[in-house]
């Protein structure tokens, strides 16, 4: 008999959502988090947008779990007073050549279950007088959320059902036993091990390291992560009136483009850009020398913004499974029975929209455990 029924590695929004979902059925359940508090990495370094599910390949996990998660999230927010706003979003075409892209997005979004409404330039300007447009799309189901509010809710729910969230606790070993796994942890320089029947790897930027500890060749499996940093610049509060909802340009082949992000306090930010980090060196500083390039991107949609209006704000790092230049890949959520690792579930490359999708991801993972 294992010491623990289920161990979740990683106390980000995904690990906490899974713990909240499974704690009523698995006891003891541990969440192991290396930092002093849960949710200190990617889960608190993002745009806090409840995505509608527009951009993802129809049928992909990203599309399905985003649309399902979006609706679950609104219900959770309303039932449990998690701070959020159904703020909506406009995708604006800034020149006639971009209008065909609106048609394509409308088709893909509709297929995914993300309703979109065509807007004439006059309608866009009635809603957002300061933006450049020849026409746009309105996404009524896009919103914003407090990521910390959501994680506090998952954390509270998991604890209420008996889960133990262990902080300052880094997983350094994972070994398959005849039944379950031996999990080795490091706490304040001390190593110790325990056994767990199930292990769920939700370690964000280290999910490939954890998979490798279990003996998986991450290059063969396609699990190797490439870190892609996204930085933001902010406007002064006096310029908050420039937009009242999220505003995106039409996407390019490789990125959604720098867009207008609004937080729950009404503050306007622009970002994120996309910069692959060689050697996976984590540095969350925002390079002030990017200001002019940011301002140029912003002026595509808000022409009145000047370079000097922008100040470096925050950044986050996307755990991508594709190297620079390759097309976007889907989430990987795998029960590793076929690799001879039953009762190990890996969540790999949980980049955007995993915050939005978190409640649906938790249900998806729970189904693996139900059918096992």
Question: Contact with ligand FAD (CB under 6 A): which of 204, 249, 349, 359?
Answer: 204
Length of the chain: 372
Least distance (Å) between residue 220 CB and ligand FAD = 22
Question: Contact with ligand FAD (CB under 6 A): which of 73, 124, 138, 203?
Answer: 203
Residue 51: other Cβ atoms inside 10 A: 27
Site mask, ligand FAD, residues 12-41, x = CB under 6 A? xxxx----------------xxxx----xx
Smaller CB distance to ligand FAD: residue 138 or 203? Answer: 203
Largest distance between two CA atoms of the chain: 67
Contact status, residue 205 vs residue 317, Cβ threshold 8 Å: yes
Stretch that binds ligand FAD, among 196-204, 238-246, 338-346, 363-371 (CB under 6 A): 196-204
d(CA 47, CA 315): 10
d(CA 93, CA 119): 10
Q: What phi and psi values does residue 347 have, to the nearest 5 degrees? A: -115, 110
Smaller CB distance to ligand FAD: residue 344 or 355? Answer: 355
Residue 253: other Cβ atoms inside 10 A: 7
Interface with ligand FAD: number of residues (CB under 6 A): 40
Question: Contact with ligand FAD (CB under 6 A): which of 10, 143, 249, 359?
Answer: 10
- Residue whose Cβ sits closest to ligand FAD: 12
Question: Contact with ligand FAD (CB under 6 A): which of 351, 359, 362, 369?
Answer: 351
Q: What phi and psi values does residue 314 have, to the nearest 5 degrees? A: -130, 175
Smaller CB distance to ligand FAD: residue 69 or 135? Answer: 69
Contact status, residue 9 vs residue 196, Cβ threshold 8 Å: no
Q: What phi and psi values does residue 150 have, to the nearest 5 degrees? A: -65, -45
Q: For residue 233, how many C-alpha atoms fall within 13 Å in the half-sphere facing its CB?
A: 24
Site membership for ligand FAD, residue 136 (CB under 6 A): no
Site membership for ligand FAD, residue 43 (CB under 6 A): yes
Smaller CB distance to ligand FAD: residue 135 or 352? Answer: 352
Q: What angle do CA 62, 67, 69 make, to 5 degrees?
A: 90
Site membership for ligand FAD, residue 352 (CB under 6 A): yes
> CB-based contacts of 251: which residues, under 8 Å, 6+ apart?
55, 101, 105, 257
Smaller CB distance to ligand FAD: residue 128 or 351? Answer: 351
Question: Contact with ligand FAD (CB under 6 A): which of 333, 353, 364, 365?
Answer: 353
Interface positions with ligand FAD (CB under 6 A):
9-15, 32-35, 40-43, 45-49, 51, 170-171, 202-206, 230, 272, 316-318, 350-356
């Amino acid at each position: 008999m294992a010491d623990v029924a289920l161990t979740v590695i990683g106390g980000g929004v995904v690990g906490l959502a899974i713990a909240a979902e499974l704690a009523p059925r698995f006891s003891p359940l541990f969440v192991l988090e290396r930092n002093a508090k849960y949710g200190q990495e990617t889960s608190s370094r993002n745009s806090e947008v409840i995505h509608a599910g527009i951009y993802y390949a129809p049928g992909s996990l990203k599309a399905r779990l985003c649309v399902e998660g979006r609706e679950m999230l609104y219900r959770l927010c309303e039932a449990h007073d998690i701070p959020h706003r159904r703020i909506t979003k406009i995708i604006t075409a800034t020149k006639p050549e971009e209008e065909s892209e609106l048609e394509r997005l409308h088709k893909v979004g509709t297929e995914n279950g993300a309703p979109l409404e065509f807007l004439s330039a006059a309608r866009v300007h009635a809603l957002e007088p300061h933006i450049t447009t020849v026409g746009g799309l309105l996404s009524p189901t896009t919103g914003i959320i407090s990521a910390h509010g959501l994680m506090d809710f998952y954390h509270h729910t998991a604890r209420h059902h008996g889960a133990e969230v262990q902080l300052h606790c880094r997983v350094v070993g994972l070994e398959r036993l005849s039944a379950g796994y031996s999990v080795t942890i490091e706490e304040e320089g001390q190593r110790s091990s325990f056994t767990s029947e199930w292990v769920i790897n939700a370690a964000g930027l280290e999910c490939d390291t954890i998979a490798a500890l279990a003996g998986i060749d991450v290059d063969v499996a396609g699990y190797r992560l490439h870190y892609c940093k996204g930085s933001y610049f902010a406007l002064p509060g006096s310029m908050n009136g420039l937009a009242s909802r999220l505003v995106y340009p039409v996407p390019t082949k490789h990125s959604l483009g720098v867009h207008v992000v609004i937080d729950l306090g009404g503050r306007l930010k622009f970002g994120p850009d996309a910069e692959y980090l060689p050697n996976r060196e984590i540095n969350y500083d925002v390079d002030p020398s990017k200001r002019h390039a940011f301002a140029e991107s912003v002026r595509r949609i808000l022409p009145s913004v000047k370079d000097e209006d922008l100040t470096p704000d925050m950044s986050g790092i996307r755990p991508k499974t594709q190297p620079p230049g390759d097309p976007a890949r889907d989430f990987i959520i795998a029960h590793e029975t076929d690799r001879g690792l039953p009762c190990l579930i890996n969540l790999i490359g949980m980049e955007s929209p995993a915050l939005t999708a978190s409640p649906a991801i938790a249900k998806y993972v729970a189904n693996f455990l139900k059918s096992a």
